[in-house]
């Protein structure tokens, strides 16, 4: 059974990331011109800040330098967070997106834009915004009804603290 370079890198680097109470979300090895780029995406329940990204970057760089996991030749290491419009694929991603607006591609076709209210082991409770002055409605969808899901950026949404004031 062969493993890909990304899988080998995940096995090597994930313990370093999890030791800092972070999740290793993604590893990608790409060619950019003559150089290779190793992109590592990390996250946590509370998000990640620049200091955490720098700490992980140093730890991963040191580990990669002591092994031949990237093979011969130069490469750049890029460590970052998932970004504002992150794709949701794991249970923990949906939990972290509670109260966020998400665009869902449904397995039976069609799409739905709704706010995640709650998440449990079977699926999600959503608030679907009302259209043309209608009130918002609630809807339940199971995880197996979701083909793809991506967080939407909201520029003019009031923060919960502002609404409570």
Last residue of a domain, one of 61, 80, 99: 80
Distances (CA, A) of 12 to 46, 67, 73: 24, 9, 19
**Is residue 73 located within the same domain as residue 128?**
no
* Helix (H), strand (E) at residue 140: strand 137-142
**Is residue 41 located within the same domain as residue 76?**
yes
Tens of pLDDT along 81-135?
888 778 898 999 999 999 999 999 999 999 999 999 999 999 999 999 888 888 9
Would you call 52 helix, strand, or coil by DSSP? Answer: helix
* Structural domain includes residue 85: no
* Structural domain includes residue 146: yes
Q: Which domain holds residue 144?
A: 91-164
- Our count of domains for the chain comes to 2
Last residue of a domain, one of 80, 103, 120: 80
10 Å Cβ neighbour count for 70?
16
Lowest mean pLDDT among 5-14, 54-63, 136-145: 5-14
Contact 107, 97 (CB under 8 A): no
């Amino acid at each position: 059974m062969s493993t890909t370079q990304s899988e080998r890198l995940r096995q090597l680097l994930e313990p370093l990331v999890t030791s800092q109470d972070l999740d290793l979300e993604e590893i990608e090895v790409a060619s950019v011109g003559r150089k290779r780029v190793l992109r590592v995406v990390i996250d946590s329940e509370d998000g990640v800040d620049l200091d955490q990204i720098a700490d992980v970057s140093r730890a991963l760089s040191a580990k990669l330098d002591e092994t031949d996991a990237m093979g011969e030749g130069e490469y750049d290491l890029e460590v970052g967070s998932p970004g504002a419009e992150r794709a949701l694929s794991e249970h923990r991603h949906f939990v972290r997106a509670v109260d966020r607006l998400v665009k869902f591609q449904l397995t039976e076709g069609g799409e739905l834009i709704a706010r995640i209210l709650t998440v449990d082991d079977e699926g999600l409770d959503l608030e679907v915004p009302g259209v043309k002055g209608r009130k918002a409605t609630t809807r339940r969808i199971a995880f197996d009804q979701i083909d793809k899901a991506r967080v939407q950026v909201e520029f003019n949404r009031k923060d919960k603290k502002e609404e409570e004031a």
